Amino acid sequence: MFSCFLRAVSFTVLPLTLGTLASGVSFGQGETEPQTTAQKIGYDDLVAEYGVNLPDGSSTSVALVEAFTGESRYLPNPASFPGKTIVDRGQPTPGQTAAVSGHSTGSAVRFFGSGSSSPGTDNIDVFSAGYWLGSAGLNLTSNRDPANQSYKVSSHSYIIRSNSDFGTTEATSLLHRLDYYVDRNDSLVVVGSSNGRTTSLPLGLAPSFNALSVGRSDGNHGAGPTTFYFEGRTKVDIVAPEGTTSGATPVVASVASLLADAANGNSDAVHVETLKATLLAGATKEQFSDWDRTTTRPLDERYGAGQVNAYHSFKIQEGGQFEGSATLGGNTVGDLGWDYSDSLESTTLNPERYYRFEVGNDQYLNELSIALAWNIDIADVDPSPFSFTPSANLVNLDLELFDSTGNVVDASLSTVDNVEHIYLQDLAPGIYDLKLSGDADSDFALAWRLNGSALAGDFNLDQRVDIADIDFYSGNIDQAAEGELVQLDLDLDGRVTLADLDLHVTTLVQTSDGGFGTTIGDTNLDGVTDVLTDGFALVRNLGKTGNVSYATGDFNADNVVDVLGDGFRLIRGLRSGRTARQASLSVSSSSVPEPNSTAILVLLCAVQAVRRRRSWIS
């Protein structure tokens, strides 16, 4: 804890709890092996795909701001970061020497160390939180303007609590300064919320418009809506899979540093609004069964845009910049991409831009995630740098998504936030136009990702609709068609059933001859159910339970290969295969011998009986 007195006002700076690096390793639901944070946020996928060609944050200028954890302890241990230049920008308490902090070291490892998404960052300035807030950054100890600093990303794993001299009035003054600092310096300030689900959102830093506030993926952090400085705004903005907010904050800052480096000199890509929009659009939701948003509340009240995902955000940036059109019906943008403009003005009366998306007839869309970010404008109405006199102005920007008939598919229309977010999982094929509009001119950044398969039914995105996709169905039979399972409900009855599985098999599955759709019980997907191959697969596996699949005869997804369930479905497939062959050959039914279904069923029963007898004897 650190208290300092600023213009006769005291406030308390508290370092957030930070676990050891083991907090970055946890078990997910249903997992038998632990996952690291790097795996959970998609960073390991980037490493696997790009190898040594992956940007590493080496060109990003960063600052680490840490609260005291003891007498002037705020520095990371340099021994943990060989080859890096860590500069102490201070300052310690008068009469004391700056010392190493375990908390600071843990933050640094996640921000630019071996456990980060930007391990190549090698020039780092470190500030004590009180000094940065007081006279090195925000200049709270004087009436001077906030400092000019060139850090593209900074990480702040501490909170400012209220006391008798620091309430909402003083916090508003601090937030004016912070938002001014971010906007003027074009610097992404990443701040943490408090730990604990029942704690309130801290007064300082986290309620900022222009900074990026971070929580935990388990939801155990203070969250909005804000109660002052424009009430009703959703905070936090994003979460990360760490056990504390102190750990989550530098994880997000590290991904931002990676993106800034990957921009490779593209100035539009590294604006704070672009980085923020790219991070929010890339965030994932599948970790949260209760994640939601509304047309007037763009983010979830607890998880913000969702869990930070380095892979998605990197791909969005890599997708490239697409300039919006001033009128409806402009060029179609890519599935992954972004835009930045310092002006929304066009030839129309109200400032607006249009972006056209297209989902092909052969494309199944898993996700559409769009994020819009812009800064609140904090004007210093006194031109003197020695007299900071802020005046806040929030432009209202909106997003509306239209289908080809002009109907509104979805919208994000918050009047208090400086972000908008549209997230859809079940967009049908067609052309869609996104309208970005505002009540006044403003700079802005827009980012999006259309994640889908080029093949309907290709749930694992391997460019094949095969047994693996059938087994994905089988593992979700009798579930409510919610969240990612909406895509499985082909008959639109609200549940995932065998009827949906059968539709998938008979219409979407790819066969070995290049066709689509096969018969029930076709274990090798050769386009027909037959006795020798598919019947034998069932016979060979009769009685097996667990670790069975469609390819081994479990045609009714009950995790057992048996006669009554799977045998009858095999016979159904044999009969439908015969009918299909008849139609393709244009012959009469009398010319094609019908499989003796009764004989097949008796044979299957006999095999099962023999196997049971053998199991009893043994």
CA–CA separation, 104 vs 178, rounded Å? 22
Q: What percent of the chain has pLDDT above 70?
A: 84
Check residue 599 and give its pLDDT. 57
**Do 193 and 222 contact (CB within 8 A), yes or no?**
yes
For residues 248 and 585, the model is more confident at: 248
Task: Say how far apart CA 348 and CA 155 lie, in whole Å.
Answer: 41
**Once rounded to an integer, what is the mean pLDDT over residues 599-604?**
58
Nearest to 329 by CA among 434, 450, 400: 434
Least confident of 102-116, 128-142, 333-347: 333-347
pLDDT at 604: 59
Residue recorded with tokens 């076709």: 522
- State mean pLDDT over 238-260: 97
Question: What is the residue-wise DSSP string for 188-206?
Answer: EEEEE--BSTTSBPPSBST
Q: Which of 96, 47, 43 is nearest to 74 (CA)?
A: 96
Summarised one tens digit per residue, pLDDT across range 18-58 is: 543 333 333 223 333 468 999 999 999 999 999 999 999 99
- Phi, psi angle pair for 400, to nearest 5°: -135, 135
End-to-end CA distance of the chain: 70
> Where is average pLDDT lowest: 267-281, 363-377, 388-402, 414-428?
363-377
Q: Quick one: pLDDT at residue 437?
A: 94
The residue extents of the domains of the chain are: 2-317, 336-453, 467-617
String of b and e for 350-364 (b: at least 16 CB within 10 Å)? ebbbbbbbebeeebb
Q: Which of 419, 398, 378, 114 is nearest to 276 (CA)?
A: 419
Which pLDDT score, from 0 to 100, does residue 94 have?
A: 77
By the 10 Å C-beta count (0-12 exposed, 13-18 middle, 19+ buried), 484 is classed as middle
Q: What is the pLDDT of residue 313?
A: 98
pLDDT at 208: 98
Comparing 20-29, 489-498, 564-573, 599-608, which segment has the lowest mean pLDDT? Answer: 20-29
pLDDT at 610: 56
Q: How far apart are CA 518 and CA 503, in angstroms?
A: 10
Q: Return the CATH number of 2-317, one of 3.40.50.1380, 3.40.50.300, 1.10.3720.10, 3.40.50.200.
A: 3.40.50.200
Q: What's the mean pLDDT when you consider all of the chain?
A: 86
Residue 357 amino acid letter:
F
Among 2.160.10.10, 1.10.10.60, 2.40.10.230, 2.60.120.380, name the CATH number for the domain at 336-453: 2.60.120.380
